[in-house]
Structure 1
Amino acid sequence: MMSFARIVSHARAKLALILNLIDPGIGGVLFLGHKGTGKSTLARSARNLLPEGAPFVEVPLNVTEDALLGGIDLEEAVRTGERSMRAGLLQRSLGGVLHIDDVNLLNQDLLSLILNNREGDGIVGAIEEGSISRRLCLFAGMNPEEGAVSAATIDHFGLCAVFETPEKQGTKTRALAHNCPDEALDLRLRRIEAKVKKRIERARGLLERVAVPSQMRALAVEACIEAGIEGHRGDIALLRAARAYAAFCGARALSAKHVKRVVPLALIHRRRSAAPPREEEMREQQSQIPRAEEREQAGDSSRGGAEAREAPADGDGSQAHSSPKSREGHSREEVFPVGDSFKVKRMRFAKDRIERNASGRRTNTRFSGKAGRYVGSILRAKKLDVAVDATLRAAAPWQILRGRTGNLIVSREDLRFKRREKKMGHLVVFAVDCSGSMGARRRMIETKGAVLSMLTDCYHKRDKVSLIAFRKDGAEVVLPPTSSVELASRRLAEIPVGGKTPLPAALVAIYNLIRRVLIKEPALRIVAAVVSDGRANQGITGIPVPEEVERCAGLLKGMKNTDFIVVDTEDKSGIMRLDLAQRLAVSLDADYFTCDTLKAEILAELVSRRKN
């Protein structure tokens, strides 16, 4: 094992490692770099900097939930017939270091389990042994070329250091020199390492006595705001890292140089490419949008009197009777901003009997792997995931017949295996009518706000959301299945409004999207929400448009694992009520809602209220 002092360059990564050894509450460190840059070597060199007897635990990529949290020691329980608990990797690493190499290749559910339980919560044996007060240092490395990790997961790491490939000749020469046999150099490097270890121990004792002036808190907050950091983890990690650095330097009070030194480590992985628009900017954009009534009056003035009287209430339908000039003016596209977002209510879905190898945080489902919560036993062999309690109950009645004199006698036919459950995610598909009529009464602003709020909730629950916009002559998947709030914000803000209502094209687009998704994930649960007044006036074939809508709805109705919602945006206050969206709901066997429910705080509840 290479010592800490032998590693050449990577000063920031070394500092991040030292700061976490001083204060594990910083939240760990993520090492980013290409293969062979020294990420794992540096992490493992921390063994020599730990206090005497402190553990250093490695997490294999094929680790199971039981191995992480601990559980019943099956072999010991069967051998002795007594309850025997086995410590998990998290418990064994408390007070030391937990190292994950290639963290981006680790199962994301298990990684979330580590991040949520690294302070002792949920670890078998931690409470009984009083070790819950001890914290572990989390070191992780990843090569971005081998796979990505979600922004929410990366945000859980307090610090981040990027490893650059050494290209300078001097750096390579020093690296070779540090790894060649040389007794004098070995002695000097051991002294350096011992000095660093002593400084870390001294800093631990000084850490709680380092004063943090209010000006330094303001400086940390200012740095996070300037970098466009979302949430509070960045502020907390920055301030804790700066305090640990001050203790490492022997300072009694935090200063600006300590904060500035650790800013790159605490914020580099939390920066966002595009910060979301502020509420003031959004309101200013909304105030610049002409009122729907003014647009309608302008459209009416451009038509002839007889044509205006013959035109239907839907602005799209008037295009067929207007002159070329009025058609050009009325088909003008407008881009509405995204409405105010909000916290949606919890979405609940009924469990089914399908066994999945899924991930997410919303609905419980039967899980086919060894992870998840143990909820029952089955007779079918399942990857040697033995249910000890059920096995013992099955074997107990036969002990006399088997001539038991000592330990419990367990036969193969007594074996029972665990049935597990874990959370799964869903796919919510919004098909939004973006024809000219959607601009009336600012409906598109509310719709965009509701979709963004739903996406935010699905992001927290690890759901996926897709957005289909239909207008003019067809439908377009403007937002493929995604969990990215930033991407959704940009795409939603760019959706224009104008043109006819190609409802059949929208239904076909929903069908094609769901069919492609189910080919890849046959067991995925899907909810499709159609937001429209149902006044389809643009078809995709030569048959009448209403008949085309019926055929497309019948095609969708038979899709498995899919539920439907129809939100009617038609104005119900007037005399002319066609209720075409209600007919669509009947054709889809969907839940139907009037346009009164098309409010931002209501639309997000529609998926929650969907009957399963």
Structure 2
Amino acid sequence: MSHAPRFPFSAVVGHDDLRLALLLNAVHPRIGGVLVRGEKGTAKSTVVRALASLLPALDVADDCRFGCDPAAPDPQCPDAPHGETATRKPAQLVELPVGATEDRLIGSLDLERALTEGVRAFQPGLLAGAHRGVLYVDEVNLLHDHLVDLLLDAAAMGRAHVERDGVSVSHAASFLLVGTMNPEEGELRPQLLDRFGLTVQVAASREVTTRTEVVRRRLAFEADPAGFAAQWADADAELAEHIRAARDRVEHVVLPDSELRRISALCAAFDVDGMRADLVLARTAVAHAAWRGADAVAEEDVEAAARLALPHRRRRDPFDEPGMAEDQLQQALSDAAEQADEQPPDDPDDDPDGPDDGGPGGGSEPQDEPTGPDGGGGGEQQEQPGGGDSERSPVGAGQSFRARLLEVPGLGEGAPGRRSRARSRSGRTTRATTVGGHGLHVTATLAAAAPHQAARGRSGPGLILRSDDVRRALREGREGNLVLFAVDASGSMAARDRMSAVSGAVLSLLRDAYQRRDKVGVITFRGDKAELALPPTSSVDIAAARLRSLRTGGRTPLADGLLRTQHVIRTEATRDPQRRPLVVLLTDGKATVGVGGATGSKQAVDDSLRAARVLAGTGTAAVVVDCENGPVKLGLANQLATALGGPSLRLEELSAENVAGVVRAVSGDSGLAA
């Protein structure tokens, strides 16, 4: 079957780093793949799909479902031993959809053979199909974390191991892994970022000439795909030959000890965790040397590799800026050059005290302490008596911490995440059922049918099934939630030390939401009204940036803040009805403005309590963070928590280090439980 022509790789305009990263991985797949970060409409998918056309064709054993090379078959291949016939096939580009299940990715029990022949047989997944080709995951940041882990494990080891449903299989899975993502839709956790060999940031050019050429070539391709591809066929063929020659050369490229020391010095200078960066940098430098036709790695190869392998490994926190400044790289390269030129001692034991602490990353330079997005913050601010309307400058964020888990009770069915319990298509199987569930529970189905085989007249292989034998799997995992921070930014909260602590707490909770794959929104209330400071988003970078510009002062329209929160929840429910909300209200409870701008403390407090009860009536889970301080406490935040049907925590109790256990956002039976 013929396929429509892909946009030629050679015809791509710009994106030099992206093209180089893909080509180096094509030369040396053990580099570990490429993560492509960039805004929408930057041709990320186009470039990746074009790469597959450049890869050399493969000889595949005819009787192998796992793509074995007949000249060097996998000794552990489940289909071994293989026959002598083989077919030459183009390298495969296998795409993993975001909604794929674990069964689809790694394979599963062959149900047809299990039910008809009564045997346990393995049905290969996408990892087997991608062997010796390209595995492409668009929107990899939206893929469930445990599937990303499986992908990266297979990419790193070159093998896939399957232990499930009574099947134990190991097969070769060597592929070029490419993931693309739009950071505005949410980030990958730093632990997963590190597992990708190389990362490239792409953006649309701001040069008019470049943009014009991009549009010209795209329109020409759409008008005549075959003709356009033919124009670039020679250039693509030359690239394909270059890849083949570099693959033949890569195993023979020498990595001198001086360049290995340069690599180690660079990784130490950037203070990367573990040794993965050193290995990736070495493999990438070797591939780069092979690509340029050299027999040994040189400084230029290490520098090119560092640009692709190190920037994302510096990002340990969701609020760290991605990337790497050019002057910082050049300084590190300069320092590493001194290390590369040094001769190692003949006997390492001659230096029992170890390396000098003054080397790269060894403490000679003061290291910046992570303090959140805005570690500084304006001059002194004094809380004005009576909560006046004067506006204060943005405040700096206080110290961040590891937040304790705030969890929506019950059992949801929302998007995969890491916060609240949920029914799941890909989680662990808890039990079998005859009603509901996700997918067939094979073992339970076979066990239900087995006792009746004699009565049903079975005389040969296979099982005789009835509809009442079928059992489905109840699976439980974790879901991400819609976490709305309602932040009191009024004059009563505006004392610098208190608002700084609140900002630090919100940053800590945002970091926690990032790790748990929530959508987050921020609502602030001050003056006469509430404001949606951040519409719900999966990008905590944007949330942190909005928090930096948080202004304080004025009266406290607490009721309007709660009603605005309810409105946002109702709007989001129409877009994503399965994502359960969790409201985190940070306030001292001192309402001074009621519904419709009514003044008077008693009226304002009564209106806020009524608004809280209305919000609670929707079944929304809520937590109140009591920010009241001073020798005399009115306890208004506790009254709000009672009206909302949720717990009240002190600000200091948000730290997981200070308080043990798990906080459930609504205690008892809230109607949300399954």
Bin the TM-score by the shorter chain.
0.7 to 0.9
- Superposed, 1:196-207 pairs within 5 Å as 196-206=243-253
The reply to whether residue 41 of structure 1 matches residue 50 of structure 2 is yes
**1:393-415, CA deviations, whole angstroms, 9 ceiling, x for partnerless residues?**
22122222211212321123322
Q: Distance in 2 between matches of 1:449 and 1:233?
A: 32
CA offsets 1:436-480 (integer angstroms, 9 cap, x no match): 222336011111111111111211110122222111111112122
Provide Cα deviations, 1:7-38, integer angstroms capped at 9, x if missing partner: 53557655433421343342213578549956
CA distance in 1, matches of 2:543, 2:179: 29
Q: Does 1:590 align with 2:649?
A: no
Distance 1:468 1:236, change over 3 A: farther
User: Secondary structure of 2:440's partner?
Assistant: coil
Q: Cα deviation per residue 1:125-181 (whole Å; 9 max; x = unaligned)?
A: 69966657x643214578x7xx97644289446244869838589x999x9698379
Give a deviation string over 1:188-243, Cα, whole Å, max 9, x none.
Answer: 99798556424313203437777634334555787x79xxx999988875554223
Q: How far apart are residue 49 of structure 1 and its match?
A: 7.8
Inter-CA distance 253–2: structure 2 relative to 1 (3 Å threshold): farther
Name the amino acid aligned to 1:242: A
Q: CA deviation at 1:253?
A: 5.3
2:386 paired with 1:316? yes
SS at match of 1:340: coil
CA contact (8 A) 1:77 1:83 kept: yes
- State the shift of 1:566 in Å: 2.2
In the alignment, residue 112 of structure 2 is paired with which amino acid?
A: E
Q: Say yes or no: does 1:179 pair with 2:218.
A: no
Aligned AA for 2:177?
Answer: L
What does 1:114-153 align with in structure 2 at a 5 Å threshold?
115-119=151-155, 123-124=161-162, 131=171, 135-139=174-178, 150-152=186-188
In the alignment, the residues of structure 1 paired with residue 247 and residue 483 of structure 2 have an alpha-carbon distance, to the nearest angstrom, of 50
Secondary structure at 2:139 match in 1: helix
Q: What does 1:493-508 align with in structure 2 at a 5 Å threshold?
A: 493-508=548-563
1:462 is paired with a residue of what secondary structure? Answer: coil
- CA gap of 1:490–1:232, structure 2 versus 1, over 3 A, is farther
Instruction: Tell me which residue corresponds to 1:392.
Output: 446
Equivalent pairs: percent with the same residue?
Answer: 31
Inter-partner Cα distance in structure 1 for 2:370 and 2:440: 58
Specify the alignment match of 1:310 in structure 2.
none
Residue among 454, 461, 472 paired with 2:516? 461
- What is the aligned partner in structure 2 of residue 109 from structure 1? 144
Cα displacement (A) at 1:59 = 3.1
Residue 289 (structure 1) aligned to one of 379, 393, 414: 379
Residue equivalent to 2:302? 259
Q: Match for residue 339 of structure 2?
A: none
CA spacing shift, 1:24–1:376, aligned 2, 3 Å: same
Give yes or no for contact 1:433–1:531 (8 Å, CA) kept in 2. Answer: yes
> 2:457: which partner in 1?
403
Work out the CA distance in 2 between the residues paired with 1:362 and 1:284: 27
State TM-score, norm by structure 1.
0.75
* Residue matched to 1:68: 105
* Aligned residue in 2 for 1:59: 95
**Matches of 2:257 and 2:248, distance apart in 1:** 15
User: Which position in structure 1 is the counterpart of 2:627?
Assistant: 569
| Structure 1 residues not aligned, in runs of 5+ | 300-314, 320-327
Partner Cα distance (1:231, 1:497) in 2:
42
SS at match of 1:316: coil
- SS of 1:530's equivalent in the other structure is strand
1:548 aligned onto 2:610: no
Partner of 2:534: 479
Secondary structure of the equivalent of 2:458? coil
Is the 1:387–1:417 Cα contact (8 Å) retained in structure 2?
yes
CA displacement at 1:347 relative to structure 2:
4.8
Mapped to 2, the partners of 1:509 and 1:569 lie a distance apart of 20
Structure 1 SS opposite 2:456: coil
Give the Cα separation in 2 of the matches to 1:274 and 1:140.
21
Q: Which moved more, 1:390-399 or 1:194-203?
A: 194-203
Indicate whether 1:78 and 2:115 are aligned.
Answer: yes
Corresponding residue to 1:99 among 113, 124, 135: 135
Work out which of the residue numbers 109, 124, 149 in structure 2 matches 1:87.
124
- 1:314-338 CA-to-partner distances (Å, cap 9, x unmatched) read x335x5xxxxxxxx7xx24232111
Could you tell me whether the CA contact under 8 Å between 1:454 and 1:604 is conserved in 2?
no
The SS at the match of 2:492 is helix
For these two proteins, the number of residue pairs brought into alignment is 557
1: CA distance, partners of 2:372 / 2:478:
36
Which structure's residues are more often helix, by fraction? 1
* Counterpart secondary structure, 2:494: helix
2:10 maps to what in 1?
8
Aligned pair partner of 1:375 in 413, 423, 430: 430
Structure 1 stretch 15-24 or stretch 114-123: which is displaced more? Answer: 114-123
Tell me the TM-score normalised to structure 2 length.
0.69
Could you tell me whether the CA contact under 8 Å between 1:427 and 1:527 is conserved in 2? yes
Letter in 2 for 1:244: A
Distance in 2, matches of 1:509 and 1:581, equals 18
Q: C-alpha offsets along residues 342-373 of structure 1, whole Å, 9 cap, x if unaligned?
A: 23345555542x5x252213333113x5x444
Residues in 1 aligned to 2:308 and 2:373: alpha-carbon distance in whole angstroms:
35
- In 1, Cα distance between equivalents of 2:665 and 2:518: 17
Q: Per the alignment, do residues 606 and 417 of structure 1 end up closer, same or farther by CA in structure 2, a change over 3 Å counting?
A: closer
Matches of residues 152-551 of structure 1 in structure 2 within 5 Å?
152=188, 155=193, 156=196, 158-160=198-200, 165=214, 167=216, 179=230, 193=240, 196-206=243-253, 212-218=259-265, 240-249=283-292, 251=294, 254-262=297-305, 265-266=308-309, 275=321, 279=369, 286=376, 289-290=379-380, 295=382, 315-317=385-387, 319=388, 331-347=390-406, 350-352=409-411, 354=412, 356=413, 358-367=415-424, 369=425, 371-380=426-435, 385-407=439-461, 408-440=463-495, 442-541=497-596, 542=598, 544-551=603-610
Q: What is the DSSP-based 3-state SS (H/G/I as helix, E as strand, rest coil) of the residue aligned with 1:466?
A: strand
Query: What secondary structure does 1:402 align onto?
Result: coil
Contact 2:140/2:180 (CA < 8 Å) preserved in 1?
no
Determine if contact 2:377/2:395 at 8 Å carries over to the other structure. no
Distance of aligned partners of 1:519 and 1:176 in 2 relative to their CA distance in 1, 3 Å threshold: closer
SS of 2:460's partner is coil
Q: Contact 1:534 / 1:580 at 8 angstroms: preserved in 2?
A: yes
**Matched residue type, 1:537:** T
Q: Distance in 2 between matches of 1:9 and 1:269?
A: 28
Kept in 2: contact 1:465–1:482 (CA 8 A): yes
- Give deviations 1:523-560, integer Å, cap 9, x for gaps: 33322222222221112334822331232122112122
Q: 1:447·1:599 contact (CA, 8 Å) conserved in 2?
A: no
Is this contact kept in 2: 1:435–1:498, CA < 8 A? yes
Where does structure 2 lack aligned partners over 5 or more consecutive residues? 60-67, 73-90, 205-212, 323-366, 669-674
* Residue among 21, 27, 32 paired with 2:32: 27
